[in-house]
A and B are shown apart, each in its own frame.
Chain A
Amino acid sequence: MYLQLWRQTHVRFLAHTQEKFVSNKTENAISVLVQWTPFILEGFLLNLVISFLAMTIGTLLGVGLGLMRISRRSYLNNGARIFIQILQNTPWLVILFAVMFLVPSQFKIGGAQIAISGWVQATVGLSLPIVANVAEILRGSVHSIPSAQWEACDSLGFNRRQALSMIILPQCYKRMLPPWMSWYAILTLATPIVAILGVREGLGSAQAAMESAGGKPEYLMPFYGFVMILFFIYIYPIARWTKWLEQRVSQ
């Protein structure tokens, strides 16, 4: 019965693989890729800019949210907790969509009209998950400080704000660094998602380059492979450095 089925549906390879010049096509694709490499590298620069900006905004706001999360006032604490939970449970793509639809693409201040380009909206969108995760990192590291420190602050007459700013938080910075760097790597690996929304960064540039060069299917693997290698060259050293930092901090 299966032999009958096999006879009925015959398998066909795509036309271009039946040609004998398979290696010629690949060589051609690689030469086209080399031609377009500067363009794709410019786009990759935008990726890095997005990651730096999103990390900066995310860290600044995240530290604020984290301080709210460790506050003793229940409205700040619980409000921050719900906000962090929602941001941590939602996929980055959905958050990005929400921000792209909700943040206006231009608004008026006084008389001037300011246009916000797509990548700026995308940066704000990507910074929101970082806000939540930096807040959690802060909370985790404050909780990991031994309670003896808090008791010592108490016995020396520090109030909570002084204890946090002078004693506890300075000890936290070193512990926060490895997870923070790990989140930077995750953020950078998430920046190609903005290509779905039309931003011309590294991946968007590669896709545009493929279209300009004719859109042939043999371009797909070299171009996407090149984008992956770019990211690998950037992220792998960061990942190794983070591991080394983690070992140093835990001593």
Chain B
Amino acid sequence: MSAYLAALFKDIHQKTGLNFVYMYDQFEYRRMIDGVWTSAELIVLCLICSIIFGLVGAAARESKSRILFMIVGAYVEFFRNTPPYVQLLFFYFGIGSVLPQIDMGGYFEPLIGRFGWAVISLSLFGGAFVTEIFRSGIESVPRTMREAAEALGYSRIQTFMHVVLPLALRFCLPALGGILISLLKYTSLAYAIAVPEVTYTSQLIWNDNFNVIEMMITLFIFYNLAVMFFSLLMSSLEKRLALPGYG
């Protein structure tokens, strides 16, 4: 099957000049697959960490401690109103240069590498938006539910975990899906700190083979497929979690 595809694309290259190198050249194929895989890892890690930061942030906004409320408020406002690209550079170059370096024998390697900083920076950025989404979801849970839980003897944390959070999740799922898709697209910024994800790898390939347009088409296809797959995932999740007769 792959031999057939390779022959097909080589044929297309000879007949029309459209050069999809990574389809018939083993080296470029390996590079492309590595790039796609790194991109997929980056996307999955960023989405999961954003949701975790968002949950922590939303829970902190719910808490009675005034200091926690203000710290999380400052975090959300800062990360929402500053450019994500500059945040990434600040984390990787700025903070990365003052962290300790590990002696590897002949050279020194920084404690957190490019991929790590990309995940940290993008997750903090996404977490700020997800915090707001979860907060709006939590606020839209009717107060009657909380009062009913209190009447049944649930503690504050128990109410939050067993009553408020499941309902809030179902209310905010559409908006959450939109934000996560937006974050998926922002992961391409990791290109700027030379994380070898699909945009960076495509550039390496088109630098070697001068097939910019074909690699651009590939990039468009990759991101469109990724977003469509994720949208499908979110809508099937919405259907599964839908409460019968509620909204």
Using CB atoms and an 8 Å cutoff, list the residues of chain A in contact with chain B.
9-14, 17, 85-86, 89-94, 97-98, 101-102, 185, 189-193, 195-196, 203, 217, 220-221, 224-225, 227-228, 231-232, 235-236, 239
Contacts and interface: CB of A to CB of B under 8 A. Distances in A.
Contacts of B85: 190, 192-193, 195-196, 203
- B interface SS class: helix
B228 interface: yes
B152 interface: no
A12 B78 contact: no
A89 B228 contact: yes
Interface stretch (B8-16, B29-37, B92-100, B163-171): B92-100
A86 B228 CA distance: 10
A225 B94 contact: yes
Contacts, number: 119
B93 A227 contact: no
Contacts of B187: 91
A93 B81 contact: no
Interface of B: 77-78, 80-87, 89-90, 93-95, 97-98, 100-104, 108, 181, 185-189, 191-192, 199, 212-213, 216, 219-220, 223-224, 227-228
A239 to B, nearest CB: 6
A101 B211 CA distance: 11
Q: Chain A: interface secondary structure? A: helix
- List of 5 A-B pairs having minimum Cβ-Cβ separation, nearest first: A91-B188, A221-B94, A89-B227, A91-B185, A224-B90
Contacts of A94: 188, 199, 216, 219-220, 223
Contacts of A231: 81-83, 86
A17 B82 contact: no
B103 to A, nearest CB: 5
B224 A10 contact: no
A1 B89 CA distance: 37
A46 to B, nearest CB: 14
Contacts of B87: 228
B228 A203 contact: no
B78 A232 contact: yes
B102 A224 contact: no
B83 A190 contact: yes
A90 B223 contact: yes
A11 B80 contact: no
A157 B192 CA distance: 57
A118 B223 CA distance: 25
B86 A9 contact: no
Given A97-B216, A231-B82, A231-B86, A11 B102 contact: yes
Contact of A90 (B84, B86, B89, B224): B224
A14 B102 contact: no
A85 B221 CA distance: 12
A93 B189 contact: yes
29 contacts: A11-B100, A12-B103, A85-B224, A90-B219, A90-B223, A90-B224, A91-B199, A93-B199, A94-B199, A97-B219, A98-B220, A101-B213, A101-B216, A190-B83, A192-B83, A192-B86, A193-B189, A195-B85, A196-B192, A220-B93, A221-B95, A224-B89, A225-B94, A228-B83, A228-B86, A231-B86, A232-B81, A235-B82, A236-B77
